[in-house]
Chain A
Amino acid sequence: MKRSVRHSKNGKIFGLSEYIIKIITIIILIILWEFFSRVGYLSPLRFPRPSKLAITLWELMTVGYPIGITVWLHIKATVCRILQGYLLAAAFAIPMGLIIGRSYLLEQAANPVITFARSVATISLLPLAIAWFGVDELSRILLIAYGCYWVILTNTIQGVKQVDINFINAGRMLGASRRQLFFRVILPATLPRIFAGMKIALGVGFMVIIAVEMIGTIQGLGALIQQARFYYSSDIAIDGMIFIGILGLLISIVLDRLEQIMLPWAVGLEEVER
């Protein structure tokens, strides 16, 4: 692994590991926050102090909000919805992208549609989705799928288009049939880019889910935050944000790990398009 020149040689600054320094920074920020709100610079209603957040956090995990729905249930609901929409999107976007990317004609034809559809903010489709599918799980999942679909599709198309001509020529010189060329050369050469698209799509999925959960459900992290808004419970809203952040972090760690296992040859090669 290459490290930038500004990194210290052994990963230590003033004899402390970089890891420790990151944790200390966070702790200092929390202490400052607590301090300023106790002194009275920050209104406890708008900026609940960290100690209050910690207590609320504990209550969310044990008692739940609304009572009975613990944060674990919220997380489970959110993760289930994202996964369904996300996998649905991938199941359609990857094959479509592979087909469109291989054909100049299809790519030209699809280009304006894709650019248009991608520019439409997914959330703005919420009223339509509700009109078509009702205030229902289906609406939520389809909206997530919509948001993820275009990102995976464009990255897959770009990936196919950018396959090095040398790989294709080498494949042809080594006796590959059209079918073999596709499955043994073009597909593996495209995988890193597909993976990159999948990673961005997950982020998009997270943005969409929180918004679509704010309507018509009491389960899910978005619903939790929405409920908190009704009662001016800033502490619950902030704790909800913290859970979303941690969840996103964990999932991206899992995806990175998955990529290292599945594409050990490609780690660090991909370029990304949103």
Chain B
Amino acid sequence: MQFLPQSIYRHTRGTIYLLALCMAVANTAVRASENTDHWLMRINEAATNLSFAGNFVYIHDGQVEAMQVVRRVRNGMMQERLYALNGDAREVVRDMDRVWCYIPDKNVGVHDYRQTSESGFPRILPADITDLRQYYSFEVGAQLRVANRMTRQIKVIPKDQFRYGYHLWADKESGLLLRSDLVDNAGELVEQYLFVNIEIGGDISDRQLESVTSKEQLVWYGTDRPNLSAEVQKKNWQIANLPAGYRLTRHIRRMSPMEMEEEEHMVLTDGLSSVSIFVKKAREGQSSMQGLSRMGAVHAYRNTIENHWVTVMGEVPAETVKHLAQQIRYQP
């Protein structure tokens, strides 16, 4: 028995089907979102909390380089050692505050204080993934065996031309990132990190964190205190039109350790990609490289503005650094 006219009934039934379909799609989207969020958070957590030791390859510009990495997290303190397996036995040992670079091929060691303790290895993605969804879409992909472990792929796809994409493979058991491909807008590989073997967890001994080259074999250079810097209060350098999502997170002034000239350093980020802008007075009578430069995934663009060298740099497409370099203004 029908209480409604046939036409309204048909219309209502159609609407219900449509609503049901929408709800099903929405549920699927929510599940997918929860799934990617879950994976991204796992990656983040694993990068912060796990100890591991393994070998990986770093592929860039048609070159393949093999490296060994050991990382120990104990009582919230992190220690790492990175060691080149090809060519000269260069290595880096670092803890939360300091870094020692061994360059035996030059018979030199360099000790320095870290600028921040935020950039871990291989930590990726901030906690606030919601914001990132405005500028990237996330997809959970297929399973893949990496370094004899099963991983799940997570694709981070940029929504515009101002950032690169990431294809990540996270260990299913621990969430640790075992492979990371940086891809450009055409989907072409820019850089790749790929573990070939890894042991996750377990006890990392002091010996595993010791350098192969002894300190006594090298002539050491270094500073005996952290670099001094101060937040800029009066911001004369303004960026007129930031690409969507990028925001200024740091603006400091310090003495450049190279030329002992005062320089300003601005850091912009969308939460995943980062760009630095360096500003310093142009040296009288000295010309400088202008325009675009590239090294691997890193693009840099230098302009001379108001007698200052302004250099924009980051692991972002060339368009991004060009755009930013053209948007910077001096406002006395």
Chain A partners chain B: no
| B residues at A contact (CB < 8 Å) | none
| A residues at B contact (CB < 8 Å) | none
